[in-house]
Structure 1
Amino acid sequence: MLPWSAELAGRLDHDVIDSALLRGNPLGDPHERPIMVYVPPGYDDDPARRYPSIYVLLGYTGHVAMWLNRAPFRQPYPELADAVFASGEALPAIVVYVDAWTALGGSQFLDSPGTGRYHSYLRDEVVPWVDARYRTIADRDHRAVTGKSSGGYGAMVTAMLAPDVFGALATHAGDALFEVCSRRSFPELARRLRDMYDGSYDTFLADFRGRLAGTREGDLELLEMYAYSAAYSADPDGTVRVPFDDTGAVVPEVWERWLSWDPVLMAPRHAEALQSMRAIWVDAGNKDEFFLDFGAVAFRRALEAAGVKDENVYFELFDAGHGGIEYRYPLALAWLTRRLTP
């Protein structure tokens, strides 16, 4: 495996979107966002041909430039995706790499007074921007949203909230079943806040922002919980409510707000949207450190209970943890292209 980038059979374009919806966002994050758009081999040879489109969302702490990071003996996803198109395993499609980074490390791809309008940004700005500049088949039956971890969460909720825009999804170890994947961390986080920051998230945030990130124990875990709270349980004025108190016990009214955004519990409310999906891919490693394999199982059962046809769902638990599963993404990509291509 060569340690430097390979030449692509297709083309990867780099551009910037000037977002009106992200202007003036609560965190002061940039409203100009990078975007990468991949077109498959042969795209420039047939100017009359149109293609399905697949939107790829990043996990927590991800920003779009990270798709080009190269680990030892591994290829980054844009190269893996290019390979399945070049080999014919995937039917030709346009792949869009979306950025939804925030100063808290992520947005969960939701509209929130704590972070900004990231769901609307994807639905109402990114998709029309791509359709206007590339030869997509510009309708929901030929458009999918995919992602891993928080990106997989984004894929699930985006498909449920915007079934008029997206007609298929793939979630790899997506955040789901919050009672299992999130609640277990409350006591440990409460203890860290107590022992290191006088029990105050404001104190933690002031300290975190005044030094090099990641130089104190628990930095990422504390920030991640706050980021999720900013997405799931921010008040209309932007005040962020965390779902546990100083003893690590659940704050019921805040936790209920979290649960309203759990894909497993959202599924019954969005059964019609899920039934309309042309394809739903759900997978996770069976040793996932955040127990998102249980979330995958629970979401698969929720799909069945919502009346989604078995033939429209691919489900698998595979032998892996949470990290290093980028080799799974092209499998879903190839499967989706065969469901989205006329």
Structure 2
Amino acid sequence: MLPWRADLAGRFEESQFDSELLRGNPLGDPSERPVLVYLPPGYDADQQRYPSIYVAMGYTGHLGMWFNRTPFRQPYPELLDAMFAGGDVPPAIVVFVDAWTKYGGSQYLDSPGTGQYHSYLCEEIVPWVDATYRTIADRDHRAITGKSSGGYAAMVTPLLRPDVFGALATHAGDASFELCYRPGFPVLAKQLRDRYDGSYEKFFADAEQRAGQLLRQDLEVLEFYGYASAYSAEPDGTVLLPFDELGEVVPAVWERWLALDPVAMLGQPQYADALRSLRAVWIDAGKQDEYHLDLGATAFHRAAHELGGPQLHFELFEGTHGGIEYRYPLAVRWLCEQLTG
């Protein structure tokens, strides 16, 4: 595990995509976004067409972070390339998508509070990739994968658009909202009360004065507002929180969140049918996940198993929420086998 960049057998191409759907988004975020595309070994030597796998980043992730180096660990792009370089995995084109926002993420949903990030992916990026690279341009040869909020995107995007994605892999994706989000309500309510008089307006004003100096608890407050912007924004962009000043649930708002919980979605006929139509679903999480997303993964697998349909892989492993990038190529390998089988 070298401390500097390794030689690659395949190659990456980074492009700038100017999105019409993100132009004029509510947060004033850039409409021009980087797209990173991995081309497997041999891509330039033949005219073969390849399955495509899309990678969604977790919350606070942006495209430039993929090559960050951590001691004794390799970045995911290098792990991915090493897997394909072995020659025993059906090759695929892998597309890394950026859905960063002012709040740190978008949950890859269309929202009047954040922007049209779901449509950006499905209606703009996917057609552009198919037109630019030699993909097999149909949903049965197209998958999406991700971890955490990216894992959430991997679960819900094929449920919303089974015509676009035919397989998925989710690593500790946000699911079972009663377990992963609701316990944080009183903690956040007290943080807002004690530091910002219960006001997100004061939080943002203070955060702007401390740009680049935010603490972990600041990022937690910001992240939760980003979730609310994705799940429960009004048509005019007003963001509604699912808890009050006591940290108690606001039922009407919380119901809007629960309607977007991947586990709850599988209880609705249209999403159950979408799940049954998929070719393959990989689900995993660390047993020591700090946000109880191992329980969410178990619940999503249980619901998917009861519905029947796709080939399922489910695994709980020893690990926490972070430092699990070594799991990502395992899922990509499996998806490649399913998409070409």
- Residues 217 and 148 of structure 1, relative CA distance in 2, 3 Å threshold: closer
Alignment-derived partner of residue 275 in structure 2:
274
Q: 1:23-62 alignment to 2 at 5 Å?
A: 23-47=23-47, 49-62=48-61
> In the TM superposition, what is the alpha-carbon distance from 1:201 to its structure 2 partner?
1.0
Residue 11 (structure 2) pairs with residue 22 (structure 1):
no
Counterpart secondary structure, 1:326: coil
Distance 2:216 2:264 in 1: 33
Counterpart secondary structure, 1:124: helix
Q: Check conservation: 2:305, 2:312, Cα contact below 8 A.
A: no
Q: 1:55-134 alignment to 2 at 5 Å?
A: 55-134=54-133
Q: RMSD over aligned Cα, in angstroms?
A: 1.0
Which sits farther off after the overlay, 16-25 or 216-225?
A: 216-225
> In the TM superposition, what is the alpha-carbon distance from 1:73 to its structure 2 partner?
1.0
Counterpart secondary structure, 2:195: helix
Distance 2:275 2:253 in 1: 27
> In the TM superposition, what is the alpha-carbon distance from 1:301 to its structure 2 partner?
1.0
Letter in 1 for 2:21: L
Alignment-derived partner of residue 337 in structure 2:
338
Aligned residues: 339
Distance 1:240 1:328 in 2: 35
> In the TM superposition, what is the alpha-carbon distance from 1:38 to its structure 2 partner?
0.4
Q: Check conservation: 1:90, 1:333, Cα contact below 8 A.
A: no
Cα deviation 1:99-158 (Å, max 9, x = unaligned): 000000000000000000000000000001100110000000000000000000001010
Distance 1:288 1:214 in 2: 27
- Residues 89 and 184 of structure 1, relative CA distance in 2, 3 Å threshold: farther
> In the TM superposition, what is the alpha-carbon distance from 1:21 to its structure 2 partner?
0.2
Counterpart secondary structure, 1:250: coil
Alignment-derived partner of residue 291 in structure 2:
290
Q: Check conservation: 1:131, 1:138, Cα contact below 8 A.
A: yes
Q: 1:1-342 alignment to 2 at 5 Å?
A: 1-47=1-47, 49-216=48-215, 218-269=217-268, 270-309=271-310, 312-341=311-340
Q: TM (normalized to structure 1)?
A: 0.97
Distance 2:146 2:214 in 1: 29
> In the TM superposition, what is the alpha-carbon distance from 1:2 to its structure 2 partner?
1.1
> In the TM superposition, what is the alpha-carbon distance from 1:206 to its structure 2 partner?
1.5
> In the TM superposition, what is the alpha-carbon distance from 1:173 to its structure 2 partner?
0.3
> In the TM superposition, what is the alpha-carbon distance from 1:262 to its structure 2 partner?
0.3
Letter in 2 for 1:321: T
Cα deviation 1:238-283 (Å, max 9, x = unaligned): 0000110000000000000000010000112201110111110000
> In the TM superposition, what is the alpha-carbon distance from 1:217 to its structure 2 partner?
5.8
Letter in 1 for 2:287: N
Counterpart secondary structure, 1:281: strand
Q: Check conservation: 1:213, 1:219, Cα contact below 8 A.
A: no
Matched-pair identity in %: 67
Distance 2:88 2:190 in 1: 50
Distance 1:217 1:34 in 2: 27
- Residues 104 and 228 of structure 1, relative CA distance in 2, 3 Å threshold: same
> In the TM superposition, what is the alpha-carbon distance from 1:213 to its structure 2 partner?
4.0
Distance 1:217 1:298 in 2: 29
Q: Check conservation: 1:274, 1:303, Cα contact below 8 A.
A: yes
Letter in 1 for 2:196: Y
Q: Check conservation: 2:107, 2:153, Cα contact below 8 A.
A: yes
> In the TM superposition, what is the alpha-carbon distance from 1:341 to its structure 2 partner?
1.4
> In the TM superposition, what is the alpha-carbon distance from 1:202 to its structure 2 partner?
1.1
Counterpart secondary structure, 1:268: coil
Distance 2:109 2:177 in 1: 16
Distance 1:123 1:328 in 2: 25
Counterpart secondary structure, 1:302: helix
Distance 1:217 1:42 in 2: 44
Q: Check conservation: 1:271, 1:307, Cα contact below 8 A.
A: no
Distance 1:214 1:284 in 2: 31
Distance 2:230 2:28 in 1: 15
Q: Check conservation: 2:189, 2:198, Cα contact below 8 A.
A: yes
Distance 2:212 2:186 in 1: 23
Q: Check conservation: 1:153, 1:175, Cα contact below 8 A.
A: yes
